Each structure stands twice: as C-alpha cells, then as structure tokens.
Chain A
Amino acid sequence: MSLFQIITLPVLLWFGYRQFAKFKGAPAIKVLYQLRWFFITLLAVLFVGAPEISSAVAQKLGIGRGVDVVIYFALIWLLYQNYSQSQEIEKLYAKLDKLVRQIALKGLDEEKANGDSQQHKKQP
C-alpha cells in the first residue's frame, strides 16, 4: 500500500461513514441525496484502493492513464455541480427579489391605509 493510499483511504472511509450514519431516520428524499454522495465516495475509495480499476477503464475509453480518467470525470462533474448550483442560486435570488418588492409595495399600501383611517377618525 502506498503512502497516498494510507493517507487518503481513512479520510474517504471516515467521510463515507458520516454519510452512512445520516441515512438512519432520514426522510426518503434525503436518503436519495445522501446515497448520491455515498456512491461518489465509494467510487473514490475504489479508484484510490485499486488503481488498476481506473487503468482498465482508461484503456477501454482510449485515455492514456487511469488517473486521467478520474481527473476528466471529476472536472465534468464539478462543472455540472457548479452550473446547477449557480442556476439554483439565481432562482433563489429571483424569488427573493420578488418577495422584497412585494413586501415593500405592500408596506406602502398599509401606511397609506393607516393614514387614511386616521384622517377619517379626526373628522367630526
């Protein structure tokens, strides 16, 4: 076992254990979310623990080294994650924008209504 494997594998296994622990009592939709991360961690454990697997995949795909396969897939996955998260943030901002404007304009209407009712009270 190489030094890299000695350092990385315990970290990955600890990370996997934490995800596994979260399955207990979690609602179904959260289990699926955790399962996705657990699967990715499992893949990382396989590639680090048995580098020959990534080399075999690399040969099948026509990419030189096993590590290159991991890097390419990691880059594609990170790009997708970044894109989907920025889309999600944009959606949240659009909702916040709508909410802030609605509250602001409603506040002005209420102030106006309060002002009108006070004017009516003052009249004999």
Chain B
Amino acid sequence: MNKNSKILIIIPAHNEQENIAGVVDELKRAGFEEILVVDDGSGDGTRDVASRMGVKVITHSVNMGLGTGLRSGFEFAIAQNCEYAITFDGDGQMRAEDAIKVFEEAQKGYDFVYGRRNFTVRGVPKIRKYTNLLADTLTAFLSGKFVWDTQSGLRCIKVDLLRKFNLKSRGYSVSSELVIESIKNGIIPKSVKIDAIYTIESLKKGQKISNSFRVVKELLG
C-alpha cells in the first residue's frame, strides 16, 4: 500500500459495541493509520470502545442514519485535506484486505472504486440479492447508467471528487446518491470483486425490503 497518500477510513457505526473493536483492529493490522468512527447516536458503548482503540471518533447526539454519518465523515476528510476517503462498515461484514484492494485499484487512476459483493456464494439470503437489484435498478433510472451493487458499503473515493458532491441523504439512500453524484460528475464507479460476509448482526441491520422503499422515497425527494 502506498503510504504517501493520505487516506481516511470512515466507519459509520450505530450500536456496534460488539464489533467495532475487531473492525478497527483488523484495519490497523492491515496498515491503515487514519481511522474515523462516526458514532451515530449509539445507545451502547460504541464511542467508548472506539476511543479506547485510539482512533478519532465523531459523535452524533441523536441517531440520524447512514447518510448523515457518512456526510460527517466526508466533511472531516475534506477538512483534513485527505486524498482518499474509504468507507467501511462497522458490523464486521467486510475484510480489511478488501479495503486495500479498492484503494490499490483507486491508485491506478480511478476516482471512485467500490467493492462489488459476490452474491453467488452460499449463505447470502435471496431477499438481499433482490433488494439490492431493486436499488441498483432505481439508481440506474436516476443516474442513467447501470451500476451493480450500488448499496455496497466499501468504497474508496478521491476527496477531490467528494468536494464536488452535493449530498443530501440521511439514510440508506446515500449509497445510491453517491453513485448518482459520481456519474453526474462524469465518473462511473469502478468495481472490484469482494466477498460478502453475512453475520447475524449485519442481517439484522442491512438492506431490508422496507429499507428499499425508504431508499426510493428518499431518492424521489
């Protein structure tokens, strides 16, 4: 990994007390130094656990949703003059090696690289495949380009590109909005294949059918 680039890992987290230490530890061992946990109004000890791990923590006084969490992180990345912002889930659904993969791909000259999950492996619930496909279709309808797995939480975005984004989403629709804004700015997100890990916690929190409708509602304003 090129240590010359200033990279910020952004982990939006809500009630991730059980997982956050493991996630941060894995990222640190993979060589990421700048890690920001955005504690989105957690009612558990997420903030304390993250602080003890020696990473920066931003705390939202109330739970606002994934979009607000990511936007706080992006604002911080811009203020810190970072070169790349990598978004990473706090529920243990991702591997640090995949973060390296997307970053290395971005260094080849791509401004927006994301981890496209492999939904063909065993254990991936069918409902997840379909809700993701629905979200991808809607995003394509709004952006004019079809992009697979728009709801993936692993992305590496050049901060210069982030500065051009006009993000408004507060909830899950931020994933679609990031793709739409990127395409609007002439950048089609580049995908890198990664494995999808589904834990019990991630299944509880991820894209539900009801969330897909919320995504649609948010995108349509």
Residues of A within 8 A of B (CB): 93-94, 96-97, 100-101, 103-105, 107-108
Contact mask B45-73 → A, CB, 8 Å, 1/0? Answer: 00000000000111111101000100110
Q: Chain A: interface secondary structure?
A: helix
Question: Please, could you name 7 A-B residue pairs with CB atoms under 8 Å apart, sorted by A?
Answer: A96-B62, A97-B68, A100-B61, A100-B62, A100-B68, A103-B61, A105-B76
Contact of A100 with B64 at beta-carbon distance under 8 Å, contacts A105-B72, A105-B75 already known: yes
Q: Which residue of B lies closest to A104 (CB)?
A: B58
B72→A104 contact, CB < 8 A: yes
* B170 contacts chain A at the CB level, 8 A cutoff: yes
Provide the residues of chain B in CB contact with A103, threshold 8 Å.
61
Q: Are A108 and B170 in contact (CB under 8 A)?
A: no
Please tell me if the beta carbons of A101 and B170 are within 8 angstroms of each other in the complex: no
Q: How far is the CA of A103 from the CA of B59 in the complex (A)?
A: 8
A104 lies within 8 A of B71 (CB): no
Give Cα A94–Cα B61 distance, bound, in whole angstroms: 15
CB pair A100 B75 closer than 8 Å: no
Task: Assess whether A108 is in contact with B76, with CB atoms less than 8 Å apart.
Answer: yes
Among A94, A104, A108: residue with most chain B CB under 10 A: A104
| A96 close to B64 (CB less than 8 A) | yes
| Among candidates A97, A104, A105, A107, residue contacting B170 with C-beta atoms closer than 8 Å | A97
* Interchain CB contact under 8 A, B68 and A101: yes
Within the assembled complex, what's the spacing in Å between the Cα atoms of A100 and B72? 9
Partner of A101, one of B56, B60, B168: B60
